[in-house]
Amino acid sequence: MPSSEVQSPPLRPLPEPIDKSQPLTALAPMQDVTDMPFMTVISEFGSPDYFFTEYFRVHEHSKLEKHILQAITENTTNRPVFAQLIGEKIPEMIRTVKELVKHPIAGIDLNMGCPAPKVYKKNVGGGLLRDVQKIDQLLGALREEIDGLFTVKMRIGFGDTENFEAILALINKHQIDLLSLHGRTVKEMYRSEVHFDAIAFAVKAVNCPVLSNGNVTSARRAKEIIEETGAAGVMIGRSAIRNPWIFQQTREVLQGKKITQISLTEVYHYIERLYHVTKKTDLIERYHVNKMKKYLNFIGQGVDPEGSFLHEIRRVQTEKEFFNVCEKHLLNTDKWFADEPFSGVIARPNCETPLAKNLS
């Protein structure tokens, strides 16, 4: 190989993954989901290499939100946590970075993908993707401030991919250390096909590792997507709520091992654990049951193809009714949890709507 092609090691190496010989895995940041209790549960079932917090909102009077900070200060997962920010004004962003670096973070992650209209209308999150010049200034200022790892999570464009190449060039210009790329535009929200060709394009265009994000629904799909895109790894969101074993299973499939199948009894124990860690003493029972339904929306997609489990869960009001339905469908059965979500069973909500605000 000519010496010009020999890759020099990155200036700022990423934290060591669980298996150094395999592609990376990360849990996608999810507002109202990826808090400290949820990350703890995920780590008990098989950690990803990296965690990302929900986004810290940055504005004139913003302070680090305590419950998000808790995922960093009380991290017992044994894995690194990146702190995600959403905002646009440089002085405010720098002030927040200065506060965050006092804590044990793996790095700072910038959100350039949130598709909620109330967010992008303020030109933050996915809204930034419309303004290449603004991105240039923001990345430049943050890069100058951040000595450690500075990562970006973004979509492939706002309404189309017109700015995509220019933004990828900025990822190189400002020496971003890791790019998590959700292969949809902002306007495509969460349900369209994922543009894996755009992810493959980015992998070739940027100098940093790329995590392929969007519809990584199973360990088998993770392997296929890594092969198809050439990505350095995968970032998994909704499918990790459904199946917290997905990171361990991905390591298995990448190592050429048989994937551990999950019984419905194990799913019951996952739900029980989730119930326990998310229970706050001051939360009224009915509200907690309703909060659980939001996780169950995803978990139920792997239980039965008819969606009977979810149908019944959506109707319970009390803890007793909740566990009665779980016991009926998940215990004393020899059925397995499905690797892929059943296509006819739709999770609601399936977007960045805070779980707690979506009480059904």
Tell me if 237 contacts ligand FMN by CB under 6 A.
yes
By rule CB under 6 A, what string of x and - marks binding of each residue 128-157 to ligand FMN? -------------------------x----
User: By rule CB under 6 A, what string of x and - marks binding of each residue 21-60 to ligand FMN?
Assistant: -------xxxx-x--------------------xx-----
- Tokens describing residue 107: 């790095």
Question: Which of 75, 77, 111, 297 contacts ligand FMN by CB under 6 A?
Answer: 111
Compute the least distance from the CB of residue 236 to ligand FMN, in Å.
5
* Angstrom distances, CA of residue 179 to CA of 84, 99, 107, 170, 212: 13, 23, 12, 12, 9
Considering only CA atoms, give the Rg of the chain: 20
Q: Which of residues 81-100 bind ligand FMN (CB under 6 A)?
A: 84
Does 231 bind ligand FMN (CB under 6 A)? Our answer is no
- Torsions phi, psi for 359 (to 5 deg): -70, 125
Helix (H, G, I), strand (E, B) or coil at 322: helix
For residue 271, what are its two tokens? Answer: 């739900």
Under the binding rule (CB under 6 A), the answer on residue 297 touching ligand FMN is: no
Residue ranges of E strands in 144-279: 149-157, 178-185, 210-213, 233-236
123's CB contacts (< 8 A; 6+ apart) are 88, 130, 131, 134
Q: Which of 292, 272, 275 is nearest to 358 (CA)?
A: 292
Which of 114, 208, 326, 351 is labelled catalytic?
Answer: 114
Pairing mode of beta strands 51-57, 107-112: unpaired
Distance CA 290, CA 278 (A): 12
Judge whether 67 and 74 are in contact, CB under 8 Å. no
Q: Is residue 116 near ligand FMN by the rule CB under 6 A? A: no
Rounded to a whole number of angstroms, the minimum distance from the CB of residue 86 to ligand FMN is 7
Element of type H or E holding 107: strand 107-112
The verdict on 239 binding ligand FMN (CB under 6 A) reads yes
Q: What is the closest distance, in whole angstroms, from the C-beta atom of residue 40 to ligand FMN in the complex?
A: 18
- Residue of this chain nearest to ligand FMN (CB atom): 237
- Specify the DSSP class assigned to residue 255: T
* Smallest separation, CB 9 to ligand FMN (Å): 28
Taking the complex as a whole, the smallest distance from the CB of residue 315 to ligand FMN amounts, in Å, to: 22
Separation of alpha carbons 184 and 138, rounded Å: 22
Q: Does 326 participate in catalysis according to the annotation? A: no
Q: Please confirm whether the linkage preceding 209 is cis (ω < 30° from 0).
A: no
Does position 126 bind ligand FMN by CB under 6 A?
Answer: no
Minimum distance of ligand FMN from residue 35's CB (angstroms): 11
Looking at 1-9, 73-81, 111-119, 302-310, which segment touches ligand FMN (CB under 6 A)? Answer: 111-119
Binding ligand FMN by CB under 6 A: which of 186, 216, 325, 345?
Answer: 216
Between 181 and 330, name the residue whose CB sits nearer to ligand FMN: 181
Sole binder of ligand FMN in the list 79, 182, 242, 329 (CB under 6 A): 182
Interface residue with ligand FMN, options 17, 157, 214, 300 (CB under 6 A) = 214
Beta-sheet strand order (sheet of 210-213): 24-27, 233-236, 210-213, 178-185, 149-157, 107-112, 81-86, 51-57
Q: Under the criterion CB under 6 A, does residue 213 sit at the interface with ligand FMN?
A: yes
Closest CA to 290 of 321, 326, 314, 259: 314
Amino acid residing at 211: L
- Alpha carbon of residue 313 to chain centroid: 25
Tell me how far, at minimum, the Cβ of 341 lies from ligand FMN, in Å: 11
- How many residues bind ligand FMN (CB under 6 A)? The answer is 23
Q: Which of 57, 238, 291, 329 binds ligand FMN (CB under 6 A)?
A: 238
Residues identified as active-site: 114
- Name the site residues for ligand FMN (rule: CB under 6 A): 28-31, 33, 54-55, 84, 111, 113-114, 153, 182, 213-216, 236-239, 351-352
